[in-house]
Structure 1
């Protein structure tokens, strides 16, 4: 592991060991956790914002799970839904998840938009698109979807997930957690319909 990666790992340990919203990611605290001097940390991360961005990027990189996408004993629709469901709000944390999703977009695109927030949002989008393509390509290799449909299918799933999240904020009484999950299941069933890729 490089020194840069060790510093990021130390910052993540501090964040994970703290109460939500109270992580001490100061230069001094992270340097101590990483076993380096503050000047060494500054060499890799000239500003605290640089360090925070690196930690957030690493968190995004490790958060997406492929679950059972390669398990051919499970139906393709169930596998794809299981993977997509990690991007959807659930009953236990609905409000917190939607608040975080909206806040990330507001900081990146709102009137007081920040460069670091925009870069992190772009990175999160890239990771999500990469995951959707990876899962759909797996199903295409198995013959469950036309390979030429992978790219538009990934875009459809991504925009459906984002659109449902927005509707859940605007109309929470009708766009419930159950409605969101059922809509994604329906969309996946439509994408994987046998007649869409030449099966009788």
Structure 2
């Protein structure tokens, strides 16, 4: 009886192998042949799933974004409002090994968008989705009447997004300088600074 292959799982496995090759060797060295070897596939078998390197990179980049979204959607947030919001923001930061890998791969792909137009649209879509997460947090503070009366919603959304980006980048480039605890303390401090003190 022929072996039944789950093609969706195989594509995900190839994408995750792509991440590992990129982290180990860099994006420029992540050739289809090298990725196929790492995934224990022939180049022909890999091309059955992804006809071009660009198509493989698009799927691999989208998988990072999808995993973050699914994790946020699956999680049961419970507790004090500020703690819940800190948890939501932490989903976007490299606070454990899985998220560090996701963030590192995303950073590499993001630089690739400067020269690969096929990745640019996906990058813009994910930018909007992450900005939406920042929007939920800021609007949550406002709707729960925790925010200062003079809080500028639009500017605070941008500032929170910029803070997340900056912390993630610093944590990847200088992990010895920015610990997970420091990242989370910084997020907590920032959120508390937006509050009116009545929460």
* TM-score, with structure 2 as normaliser: 0.64
Alignment gaps of 5+ in structure 2? 1-5, 19-38
Instruction: Describe the SS at the equivalent of 2:113.
Output: helix
Aligned to 2:141: 139
Aligned to 1:115: 117
Per-residue deviation, residues 146-179 of structure 1 (Å, max 9, x unmatched): 5963322221111011112222244332122222
Aligned to 1:81: 86
Quote how far apart the aligned CAs of 1:56 are: 4.8
Instruction: Describe the SS at the equivalent of 1:194.
Output: coil
Are residues 12 and 122 of structure 1, via their aligned partners in 2, closer, same or farther at CA, if it must alter by over 3 Å? Answer: farther
* TM-score, with structure 1 as normaliser: 0.64
Is 1:20 equivalent to 2:20 in the alignment?
A: no
Aligned to 1:178: 181
After alignment, is 76-85 or 93-102 more displaced?
93-102
Following the alignment from structure 2 to structure 1, what is the Cα–Cα distance between the partners of residues 144 and 106?
33
> When the two structures are aligned, how many residues end up with a matched partner?
165
Contact 2:11 2:49 in 1 (8 A): no
Alignment of 1:14-163 (within 5 A): 14-17=10-13, 20-21=17-18, 22=39, 26=47, 28-29=48-49, 49=54, 53=58, 56-57=61-62, 60=65, 63-64=68-69, 65-66=72-73, 67=75, 74-93=79-98, 96-109=101-114, 113-145=115-147, 149-163=152-166
Following the alignment from structure 1 to structure 2, what is the Cα–Cα distance between the partners of residues 174 and 51?
34
Contact 1:11 1:25 in 2 (8 A): no
Quote how far apart the aligned CAs of 1:50 are: 5.8
Quote how far apart the aligned CAs of 1:90 are: 1.9
